[in-house]
Homo-oligomer: A and B are copies of this chain.
């Protein structure tokens, strides 16, 4: 069986909610690092990968399609090209493992879906993508469940902390430092001077070492 992964990726000025602690150049490097973690797990799971990029980009281990339209339009364009099962996976899931992805592609259902926090969708696996359409915005998990029902798809909802953890905000970096052993994304944060910081109420955050920041 042949599986193909679609990974939307924004190489220019990505992850703007991290602007408070990372410069644009750093955010671009960090987004590429998270992408590399995702691609490594995708390839180890047995899938090949195509990046749907908003701007020109190159990568040794993936095909590239540069698309000017919105995220959903780019995904739906790509789904129309497929004649094989498709995995739609976000580029900001550095904790995902190859075994995690295999949980999806080995499903007995027509579709497997991983919710993200806050009503989102982080990963979708479709055995027959042609009827499906992506709707990544707002409460996309509920929207994707409704579209699956329209398609008559049986659905496997995959319960996973690692795959539900997308990295958007400063607090999300805690998850990489704590659970990201062996990931390039953790190495990136550590070499950029990030460490855990616990406030007086016992809440865990990250802080950046001023010395390394200026290097």
User: Which A positions have Cβ atoms within 8 angstroms of B?
Assistant: 100, 114-115, 117-120, 137-139, 141-142, 159-165, 171, 174-175, 178-179, 196, 198, 202-204
Copies in the complex: 2
Measured CA separation A115–B115 after assembly (Å): 17
* Contact assessment for A198 and B117 in the assembled complex, using a CB-CB cutoff below 8 Å: no
* Contact assessment for B204 and A174 in the assembled complex, using a CB-CB cutoff below 8 Å: no
Contact of A161 among B138, B161, B178 (CB under 8 A): B161
* Contact assessment for A118 and B161 in the assembled complex, using a CB-CB cutoff below 8 Å: no
Measured CA separation A174–B137 after assembly (Å): 15
Instruction: Give chain B residues whose Cβ lies under 8 Å from the Cβ of A203.
Output: 118, 138
Instruction: Give chain B residues whose Cβ lies under 8 Å from the Cβ of A162.
Output: 159
Measured CA separation A198–B160 after assembly (Å): 24
In the complex formed, the residue of B with least CB distance to A199 is B138
Instruction: Give chain B residues whose Cβ lies under 8 Å from the Cβ of A196.
Output: 119, 139
* Contact assessment for A119 and B159 in the assembled complex, using a CB-CB cutoff below 8 Å: no
Question: What are 17 A-B interface contacts by the 8 Å CB criterion?
Answer: A100-B159, A115-B178, A117-B165, A117-B175, A118-B203, A119-B174, A119-B178, A119-B204, A120-B204, A137-B202, A138-B204, A142-B178, A159-B160, A160-B160, A161-B163, A161-B164, A164-B164
Measured CA separation A202–B159 after assembly (Å): 23
In the complex formed, the residue of B with least CB distance to A97 is B159
In the complex formed, the residue of B with least CB distance to A142 is B178
Measured CA separation A141–B180 after assembly (Å): 13
* Contact assessment for B115 and A161 in the assembled complex, using a CB-CB cutoff below 8 Å: yes
How far apart are A197's CB and chain B's nearest CB, in angstroms? Answer: 10
* Contact assessment for A202 and B161 in the assembled complex, using a CB-CB cutoff below 8 Å: no
In the complex, besides A138-B202, A160-B161, A161-B161, 12 extra interface pairs with C-beta distance below 8 angstroms are: A100-B159, A114-B161, A115-B161, A117-B117, A118-B174, A118-B203, A138-B198, A139-B204, A159-B160, A160-B160, A161-B164, A164-B164
